[in-house]
Amino acid sequence: MTFWQLVLHLLNFALPALAMAMLMPLAGRTVMGVGRISLRRRMGVHALSGLLVLLGGLLLHGQDGKMSTYIALVLVAATTEWLLQRGWAAK
């Protein structure tokens, strides 16, 4: 495997988490309003949590791209956004 192929493999592995990291704070802002935490910081938290979920799925299943890993990614991203927006607090 060449270096370029390795970079492409790593990028394709991380792309679902990075896409969710960009979209979830924007969706949370639309649904729940502007939060106390900046958009950039929320994107960073989502990227980190999403990459950890994908890495956990890789370690658990032995391969990436399993549907259960992507379901866990969506659930973790939604829960993270709810926590960052303090969804339990009355508006």
Assess contact for 46 and 80: CB atoms under 8 A.
yes
Across the range 3-30, mean pLDDT stands at 94
Look at residue 90 in the predicted model and tell me its pLDDT.
Answer: 60
Across the range 80-90, mean pLDDT stands at 86
The pTM score is: 0.89
Average pLDDT, the chain: 92
Look at residue 21 in the predicted model and tell me its pLDDT.
Answer: 96
Q: How far is CA 62 from the centre of its chain?
A: 20
